[in-house]
Amino acid sequence: MARPLSRRTLFQAAALTATAVSAAATGRAVAASNAPAAAPRLPAAWTVRPFALEDVTLGPGVFAGKRQLMLDHARGYDVHRLLQVFRANAGLSTRGAVAPGGWEGLDGEANGNLRGHYTGHFLTMLAQAHRGTGEQVFADRIITMVDALTEVREALRREPAVLSVEGRFGRAAENLRGSHQYVDLPPAVLADSPALTLSAWVRPAHDAAWARVFDFGDDTTRYLYLAARNGNGVPRFAVTTSGPGGEQGLDGSAPLPLGEWSHLAVTLADGTGTLYVDGTAVARNTAMTLTPAALGTLAHHWLGRSNFPADPVFAGAFEGVEVFSRALTAGEITELRDGRAADASTGRGDLASYAFDETTGSTFADASGRGLDATLRRTWGAPSHPGFLAAYPETQFIELESMTGSDYTRVWAPYYTAHKILRGLLDAYSATDDGRALDLASGLCDWMYARLSVLPAATLQRMWGLFSSGEFGGVVEAVCDLHAITGRAEHLALARLFDLDRLIDACAANTDVLDGLHANQHIPVFTGLVRLHDETGEERYLTAAKNFWGMVVPHRVYAIGGTSSGEFWKARDVIAGTVTDTTAESCCAYNMLKLSRALFFHEQDPAYMDYYERALFNQVLGSKQDRADAEKPLVTYFIGLTPGHVRDYTPKQGTTCCEGTGMESATKYQDSVYFAAADASALYVNLYSASRLTWAEKGVTVTQTTRYPEEQGSTLTFGGGWASFTLLLRVPSWADAGFRVTVNGRAVPGTPVPGRYFGVTRTWRAGDTVRISVPFRLRVERTPDDPSLQALLYGPVDLVARHPGPDALRLGLYGNAGLSGDLLPSLTPVPGSPLHFTLDGIELVPFAEGTEDPTHAYIRRSEPRVIFGTSDSGVANPARSDGTTLLDEIWAAAPFRDKGALVARVRSAVDAWVSAGLLSRADGDTVVGTARRATYAD
């Protein structure tokens, strides 16, 4: 019988009862980190299962080194910066933290319409870091974040409450940028007054134009307002009964300083308006014929909000807001600048007066005697369900429901952001057993179900078909994982509400419809479908996912394992024709690895792990720069594959989706090194990577010692007790130079086949040693649409040329090719630098090295003359119309058992080319003679 899995592995196996979840959700769980789950189960469809991150320890090597760089970032980054956008949205104090910026800031791309997603990524990184290392610092940071998010959700459930801060003379009320809060005054504030004075102390926190201090009006036709900044950055007062074109206004002469208190006042009477800043008149207009009385009864009386919906909400603090029914004198304005109205000769405003001394609640007392108490409100009202949790208003979700076209500046993938938060919370729960994280996750799904379950099916299909705006990432996978814990029917029903039927049906029918689709919007859809199959048993989901994978691999995959061009897929088998500076979005590789892994749980096709090795050892490793930084994860977004491209490790102002998935990738390198058969009858070794597996179910440990890929092989050493099972060793599809296995020094009988697993069945004892030898060869990989554009691969390693661009490098490789077909003899190793070579003075290095050197991921193959073993025939290398050269045809038959076999191949190829009129007989004889005289490497 299998040992019960810990609650930390719940997303790999366990499903807890709803009763247990309810108990855990009442507070922070105190279960030991290795406490068994209440009701462990594996999805019935899984024929293998993964090991938990804590069961596999990384040994010294490239993966441990890259992970250490990311762990340093995870320790050093101030998590309160991530929480800033959540706290601001809820109107809570941000504790002086500065928002991360980029996609997480209101000034970044699309005005921060994706903010909050990065917090989810960071939670997942911390959870994986804690599980992989056991270091308490990561758990402590998770708890800090869950504390804050719990407080945020509670604040969002309530009416907004005043954020009291120190003011100019006493207390003040602050509106945080991103809170969307404003002060709502009762009707009839202006009381049809023929004259007016507005007075307020303000401390602007941002320089956004058209943020209002006052705005009294009906719509965008009848209103008066006082803006902290107009389009030129200076204060403006205006009044109109005919919209912007009829405004009578006053403009200041200088911007208000940010972060400092300024006194603003406007007087209006007898056709004259005057604008004061800090007691000084800065503008006067003697042709202002409109008065408050001319506006009539107005619907809205706001502090901090504009009647123009596109205008920003005022970000900053208010104190001492006074509204008078007369025009104060300059001297009286000076008094208000120098102290509180209650202490000035003016007294409190007779139309309205707010000191903002309140330190709690959402109501501000009016001291005018008219009883016009004001109320703090959100522009978007209240969440539609108490489970709502986000770093921006619910309006993005609401607007998506009526959108018919894509516009990410209005709505940018809100369900994608919800997914990242949900995933981070679930991972936080799996790492710490903090029941509050699970409660937040469950509430978030309850809110999503409440929104989506009432929408017509046609609306959902339209939403999910929108590029970018309707992107929902891996939300289905995460919701299914939650359902595996709670067992609640609503959660499974929610997961199915994201079905995009036209895509699922096409892929289930194996109809390739990927051309023109946004790649990373759709890859995680299929990982979700695999999990939906697990939870529902519906074969359509799994079939669609398998077929989809086959449409991407290899038909839309670059040599490094990445996919997409400018974030989109192009036509099948067009690789050379899609190489740009914006190829291979890093998120795509991350999600293709997840999908490959999920499919392997159902069908142990080695092709899934062959792809996994390719993408992991090349793009994923190479997407992380080889230096630490506490402020930035230093991960690429795109990896340009054009000649001389320099990788950008601080893309798009930071905090992008790819930096988020990059943080996750670098803290789970060990997640697919080993799998176990569901019945524990076999152990799969999928990747050759220095690591130590603790297989508690069998009572054994397996220590893998290797410098792979610098070392062409690996050693497995068993510890613990006796255990009988089959050790399944992956034979890479490229391993055609021989794959050999010994156990305790003796060769294992059998013939390993490239692209399959090689099994060794025995009762394993402590001290047993398995040695795997995997010789590498240098080979080329031709792009299907342009065979002369080629990538160089040495074993699992993609070699790139370090050289400036912009022209493609033209290199020849057949000059000293070995009889085995190995092209490596044409290269010169760099002493002291494993996996580094030179060719024609150009250095070739592993793509995985995260430097900012210009590189060529593809080279232009150039073999102008027929050369064998460095012997030059002097004959031009002829080519067919499809680009295949004579040398290509000759070496396609490698390996050769000896020189005679090679010469025979040369003779037969030459005869065919002479017969086809592609080569003269004389030149053909010269080629055969050169092949016979040449000396070859093995």
Q: Is the pLDDT of residue 395 over 90?
A: yes
Residues 304-339 have pLDDT tens digits of: 999 999 999 999 999 999 999 999 999 999 999 999
Q: Which long-range contacts (CB under 8 A, 24 or more apart) does 897-905 make?
A: 897/819, 898/819, 899/819, 899/936, 901/819, 902/819, 902/931, 902/936, 903/928, 903/931, 903/932
- What pLDDT does 14 receive? 35
- What pLDDT does 42 receive? 73
How far is CA 913 from each of CA 303, 305, 866, 906, rounded to the nearest angstrom?
86, 80, 14, 11
Considering only the top CATH level, what class is 164-378?
mainly beta
| DSSP code at position 498 | T
Nearest to 474 by CA among 514, 537, 420, 432: 420
- What pLDDT does 653 receive? 87
Residues 78-95 have pLDDT tens digits of: 999 999 999 999 999 999
Residues 823-835 have pLDDT tens digits of: 999 999 999 999 9
How far is CA 309 from each of CA 220, 315, 395, 873, rounded to the nearest angstrom?
9, 16, 13, 77
Contact predicate 52/6, CB 8 Å: yes
- What pLDDT does 530 receive? 98
Instruction: Enter the tokens of residue 18.
Output: 């709803």
Amino acid type, 926: T
- What pLDDT does 925 receive? 98
- For 16, other C-beta atoms within 10 Å of its C-beta total 21
Local structure of 49: helix, strand or coil? strand
Instruction: Enter the tokens of residue 102.
Output: 């980029």
| DSSP code at position 563 | B
* Euclidean distance between CA atoms 606 and 863, whole angstroms: 34
Nearest to 924 by CA among 871, 855, 873: 873
How far is CA 624 from each of CA 320, 392, 561, 667, rounded to the nearest angstrom?
52, 30, 15, 12
* Euclidean distance between CA atoms 446 and 482, whole angstroms: 11
- For 665, other C-beta atoms within 10 Å of its C-beta total 30
Task: Tell how strand 871-876 and strand 837-839 pair up.
Answer: unpaired
Residues 142-180 have pLDDT tens digits of: 999 999 999 999 999 999 999 999 999 999 999 999 999
In the chain, what are the domain boundaries?
Answer: 164-378, 674-706+713-768, 866-938
Q: Could you give the percent of the chain with pLDDT greater than 70?
A: 96
Ramachandran assignment for 738, one of left (phi > 0), alpha (psi -120 to 50 degrees), beta (any other): left
Local structure of 702: helix, strand or coil? strand
Residues 673-696 have pLDDT tens digits of: 999 999 999 999 999 999 999 999
Q: Is the pLDDT of residue 218 over 70?
A: yes
Average pLDDT over all residues of the chain: 94
Q: Is the pLDDT of residue 136 over 90?
A: yes
Q: Is the pLDDT of residue 219 over 60?
A: yes
Banded model confidence at residue 399, pLDDT cuts 50, 70, 90: very high
Residues 725-742 have pLDDT tens digits of: 999 999 999 999 899 999
Q: Is the pLDDT of residue 27 over 60?
A: no
Q: Is the pLDDT of residue 368 over 50?
A: yes
What letters, b where the CB count within 10 A reaches 16 and e where it falls short, cover 411-442?
Answer: bbbbbbbbbbbbbbbbbbbbbbbbbbbbbbbb
Q: Could you give the percent of the chain with pLDDT greater than 90?
A: 94
End-to-end CA distance of the chain: 51
- What pLDDT does 230 receive? 98
- What pLDDT does 882 receive? 86
Task: List alpha helices for 90-204, DSSP H.
Answer: 117-133, 136-157
| DSSP code at position 394 | T
892, with CB counted inside 10 A (0-12, 13-18, 19+), is exposed
- What pLDDT does 41 receive? 56
Contact predicate 521/465, CB 8 Å: no
Banded model confidence at residue 192, pLDDT cuts 50, 70, 90: very high
Instruction: Enter the tokens of residue 241.
Output: 């009964």
Residues 863-917 have pLDDT tens digits of: 999 999 999 999 999 999 888 999 999 999 999 999 999 999 999 999 999 999 9
| DSSP code at position 187 | S
For the chain, counts of helices (H) and of strands (E) = 23, 39
Residues 572-623 have pLDDT tens digits of: 999 999 999 999 999 999 999 999 999 999 999 999 999 999 999 999 999 9
Q: Higher pLDDT residue, 179 or 10?
A: 179
Q: Higher pLDDT residue, 17 or 280?
A: 280
Q: Is the pLDDT of residue 215 over 60?
A: yes
pTM higher than 0.75: yes
Instruction: Enter the tokens of residue 792.
Output: 């160089």
Contact predicate 83/145, CB 8 Å: yes
- What pLDDT does 4 receive? 30
Sign of CA dihedral 450, 454, 459, 460: positive
